[in-house]
Amino acid sequence: MCINGKPNRRITRRRVLYMGLGSAVALATRQTKCAITTREREKPNILFLMADQYRADCVGAEGNQAILTPNLDRIAKEGVLFRCAYSSVPSCTPARAGLLTGLSPWHHGMLGYGRVAEHYENEMPLMLSEAGYYTLGIGKMHWFPQRTLHGFHKTILDESGRSETPDFKSDYRQWFQQQAPDLNPDATGIGWNEYAARPYALPEKLHPTSWTGNQAVEFLQNYNQSSPFFLKVSFARPHSPYDAPERFFKLYETADIPKAVIGQWAERHAQRGKKLPLSTWRGDLGEEQVRRSRQGYYGSVTFIDEQVGRILEVLEKRGWMKNTLILFTSDHGDMLGDHYLWRKTYAYESSARIPMLIRWPDNQVNAKRRQILRQPVELRDVLPTFLDAAGVRFDAKRFDGRSLLDLARGKTAGWREFIDIEHNVCYSPENHSNALTDGHFKYIFHAFNGTQQLFDLQTDPGELHDLVADPKHKETLLYWRRRLIEHFNERGEPFVANGDLGLRPKGPLYSPNHPGLKEKT
């Protein structure tokens, strides 16, 4: 329940400053088929931490002086923070398909919010279990069917009240019913995609963030197998509802939480004079509501960080920090009112840019710690990173991703020059785009009507100034448009038409490579 797992050592601003962490680092048949072999050396444990809908700028190590994340800051300080990490399809399920497979959107087949396929050739838990790991997933997986394992020996699920089939009830909901049979797990009264924020209405011990942390701690305390473990701990927050316990709301009561950034181009999303639903995807809700939403969101972030601290403490006590690879990331971000937008799916930084922190075991990676790297990286890189750490040899052509440990080692030659971002129609037909970024410039093509945007992220990280109409950037705009056309060459129509970018007002949602489509044909 606290930074070191002790009730009297909860996160407070004074304590973070005292610790010196608040501003630290501101800165088998299948094996035969796939030709996988393992180097003869001790394999590290792998701890994969992720949170849902977690913005990249909500880590203290990113330079955010308002947010309290001492435990994530520690991971960054003892490893690498990747400043230009992105989610290529920034919504829950397609992002998780990229994580699972190590593939780009076109190759894993999900171009927007749909269903993760039941089977893939590449599956992270299966490949690690075949490499000798005991594999466990805790928290939100967001797969279909929901009890699909994808090679995990076991999953312990919190699916945020989501029930894809009539007979499904998550492990968290079953536990909650046993603990509090007379209470409603949704008593706080906020929907899963609403902007409202208020303190959790029930005892803190019943919160899904507490439950997820407890499950991870219990596993680590009791693990006694001879094989290394691959543990995925997937928190369902800070995704809405923004319902952190009361003490976290109080923690940010007077904090200087950054205001929403509003681009000169964003007025069309303000929706002035319209009555907007609580689950709106856009609209000017006013500074007061933005701050309240962010107060709840920041509270949820620090609540998660506290659970991360408890997990790290168990690793310390068991002597495993020196032999455990730790990676933290998210599936996508959260606009939180930036540019009058809410939720996710957009190519803008608040939605598409994600935290990516990695800390490697002692004596296993010859690399400098406390690095901040700016090469464009993506969720597709996580699986190759884990295989690299585990000593698994594989054909690099099997993945679109590459090992992040190569970048940590300084092996930057041949790294991708840019990363692709896209999302099929969601919320509204006009919310449908493709983008490219190298961390300096970002080019966005709106597939509904063909409009473009260009941002210089080095001078304008908030994406306030659209440079499309600026004559000084005419050649830059043409350069990035040509790059996107080249990126679409393997796709053909309707992505490219007559040698130029084509309009796609209706999709598609899946590419021909989606395994579910292949099984039907």
Q: Could you list the active site residues?
A: 92, 142
Strand ordering across the sheet containing 441-446: 419-423, 433-437, 441-446, 452-456
Residues 76 and 63: their CA atoms lie apart, in Å, by 12
Non-local (6+) Cβ contacts of 104 within 8 A are 88, 98, 380, 400, 420
- Amino acid identity of residue 433, one-letter, is S
User: Are 172 and 215 a contacting pair, CB within 8 Å?
Assistant: no
Supply 474's token pair.
Answer: 């005419």
Question: How many CA atoms within 13 Å lie on the side-chain side of 100?
Answer: 28
- Amino acid identity of residue 190, one-letter, is I
Residues 276 and 258: their CA atoms lie apart, in Å, by 24
- Amino acid identity of residue 91, one-letter, is S
Non-local (6+) Cβ contacts of 505 within 8 A are 425, 429, 432, 447, 448, 449
Supply 39's token pair.
Answer: 């180097």
Residues 423 and 346: their CA atoms lie apart, in Å, by 7
Residues 211 and 307: their CA atoms lie apart, in Å, by 10
CA R_g for the chain: 22
Non-local (6+) Cβ contacts of 286 within 8 A are none
Largest CA distance in the chain: 67
Supply 92's token pair.
Answer: 């829950």
Helix residue ranges, H only, 69-109:
70-77, 92-101, 105-108
Residues 169 and 159: their CA atoms lie apart, in Å, by 9
Q: Is 57 left (phi over 0), alpha (psi -120 to 50) or beta?
A: alpha
Positive or negative, the Cα torsion across 427, 162, 295, 69?
negative
- Amino acid identity of residue 80, one-letter, is V
User: Are 387 and 127 a contacting pair, CB within 8 Å?
Assistant: yes
Q: Give the torsion through C-alpha atoms of 82, 234, 96, 389, to 10 deg.
A: 50
Q: Tell me phi and psi for residue 123, to 5 degrees.
A: -140, 115
Strand partners, 358: 80, 327
Q: Is 83 left (phi over 0), alpha (psi -120 to 50) or beta?
A: alpha
The Cα angle at residue 123 between residues 119 and 127, in degrees rounded to 5: 130
